[in-house]
């Protein structure tokens, strides 16, 4: 075994995940949450409320997908909307122009986005920090310009999916419930992949690259390779989210699926909930979607852009007071409570010991 192989072996040993499983209580709570989520369309009959739930699930899925590269690997991509748009346009074109099955078209959109992310990452990962973020914004803007001027893809007018081809094969429905269950299934799948990454060697490699890249390199970890893996997996699921949006709205154009604001929202969902955590983006999606839809309903057209002002305020508050997001605050809260209970128990034990000593004396 040569020095390089020994170094790689030591990296595996140092970064190997713990074998401790989740407690049964957490599994029970998770099961209850999934059951409650499955019952939402049964209990909630109002289409507008069902649509709000779908928007929350879709935003959560995008945040969880972004969290793979931005949270675990620490590569803040602000141009992820490029893959969202690629997924939406690929599935729509394959469905409308080639008559492909919608599910297969969605998969093709994800694969294409992952392949393109390898090309983009090959050049952009030569940059670090905010320079990488700026480069991803530039790539997203270039892709938006391409689709705006590409007549085959509808140009600036966009593309419309036919309503007469309804059914599961085309993923087009008049009811909101099927879209809800598809969005929920996609979110659970993305969460499952995140959970697997978090508890595998990939998750430990990603965290090492994020926190101590020089130390990770010295242990034999190929930084570029694992950054590319994180970027590709994240892009794949982001593109699938874009395909679902196209199927739900039945219309796409560069302004709806390639707008830079979507990239900011994907990142903010994860940052608000807790970057690098499993369920943080889900919490962040719920908060941000309620803000977005609430301001739209409250102010209407006159309040356009109010949600962006609130987003900016949230970024400032999170950066100053809660850099670990909502999940970090929750963990700190329970840690403080545990510490207080432990201190009270210790004080009671000391008091009892002191009294026993006095009685013995």
Cβ 84 vs Cβ 255: under 8 Å: no
Cβ 183 vs Cβ 54: under 8 Å: yes
215 φ/ψ sector (left φ>0, alpha ψ -120 to 50, else beta): alpha
Cβ 242 vs Cβ 257: under 8 Å: yes
The DSSP code sequence of 293-335 is HHHHHHHGGGGTTHHHHHHHHHHHHHHHT-TTHHHHHHHHHHH
151 DSSP assignment: G
Cβ 280 vs Cβ 116: under 8 Å: no
List the one residue out of 161, 148, 142 whose CA is nearest residue 94.
161
Q: Where are the alpha helices (DSSP H) in the chain?
A: 3-15, 24-43, 47-67, 81-98, 102-124, 130-148, 177-198, 201-211, 213-218, 223-249, 254-257, 260-273, 280-299, 306-320, 325-360
Phi, psi of 74 (to 5 degrees): 75, 20
By CB neighbour count within 10 A (0-12 exposed, 13-18 middle, 19+ buried), where does 12 fall?
Answer: middle
Q: Which residue would you say has higher pLDDT here, 266 or 295?
A: 266
Residues sharing a CB contact under 8 Å with residue 71, sequence separation 6 or more, in sequence order: 270, 275, 276, 277, 280
Name the pairing type of β-strands 251-252 and 159-160: antiparallel
Per the prediction, the chain carries an average pLDDT of 87
The SS3 call for residue 27 is helix
**pLDDT in the model for residue 63:** 95
In this structure, how many other beta carbons lie within 10 angstroms of the beta carbon of residue 181? Answer: 16
**pLDDT in the model for residue 156:** 92
Q: Which residue would you say has higher pLDDT here, 205 or 319?
A: 205
Paired tokens of 51: 């649509």
- Range scoring the smallest mean pLDDT among 32-41, 138-147, 174-183, 295-304: 295-304
Q: Name the range with the highest mean pLDDT among 78-92, 165-179, 334-348.
A: 78-92
Angle of helix 177-198 versus helix 223-249 axis, rounded to 10: 170
pLDDT tens digit string along 94-131?
Answer: 999 998 999 999 999 999 999 999 999 998 998 888 89
**pLDDT in the model for residue 17:** 47
**pLDDT in the model for residue 74:** 92
């Amino acid at each position: 075994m040569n020095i390089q192989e020994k170094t790689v072996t030591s990296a595996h040993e140092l970064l190997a995940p713990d074998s401790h499983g989740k407690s049964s209580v957490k599994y029970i709570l998770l099961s209850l949450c999934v059951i409650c989520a499955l019952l939402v369309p049964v209990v909630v009959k109002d289409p507008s409320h069902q649509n709000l739930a779908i928007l929350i699930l879709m935003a959560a899925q995008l945040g969880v997908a972004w969290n793979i590269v931005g949270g675990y690997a620490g590569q803040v991509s602000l141009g992820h909307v490029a893959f969202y748009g690629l997924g939406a346009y690929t599935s729509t074109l394959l469905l409308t122009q080639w008559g492909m099955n919608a599910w297969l078209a969605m998969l093709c959109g994800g694969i294409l986005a992952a392949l393109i992310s390898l090309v983009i990452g090959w050049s952009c990962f030569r940059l670090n920090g905010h320079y990488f973020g700026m480069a991803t914004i530039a790539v997203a803007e270039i892709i938006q310009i391409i689709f705006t001027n590409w007549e085959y893809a509808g140009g600036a007018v966009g593309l419309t999916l036919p309503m007469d081809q309804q059914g599961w094969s085309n993923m087009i429905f008049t009811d909101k419930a099927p879209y809800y269950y598809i969005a929920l299934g996609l979110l659970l799948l993305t969460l499952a992949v995140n959970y697997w990454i978090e508890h595998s060697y990939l998750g430990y490699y990603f965290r090492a690259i994020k926190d101590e890249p020089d130390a990770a390199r010295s242990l034999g970890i190929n930084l570029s390779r694992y950054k590319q893996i994180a970027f590709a997996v994240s892009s794949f699921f982001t593109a699938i989210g874009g395909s679902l949006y196209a199927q739900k709205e039945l219309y796409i154009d560069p302004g709806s699926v390639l707008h830079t604001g979507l990239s900011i929202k994907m990142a903010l969902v994860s940052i608000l909930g807790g970057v690098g955590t499993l369920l943080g983006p889900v919490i962040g999606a719920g908060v941000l979607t309620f803000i977005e839809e609430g301001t739209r309903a409250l102010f209407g057209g006159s309040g356009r852009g109010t949600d962006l002002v609130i987003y900016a305020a949230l970024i400032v508050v999170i950066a100053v007071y809660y850099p670990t997001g909502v999940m970090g605050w929750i963990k700190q809260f329970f840690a403080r409570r545990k510490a207080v209970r432990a201190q009270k128990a210790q004080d009671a034990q000391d008091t009892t010991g002191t009294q026993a000593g006095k009685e013995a004396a």
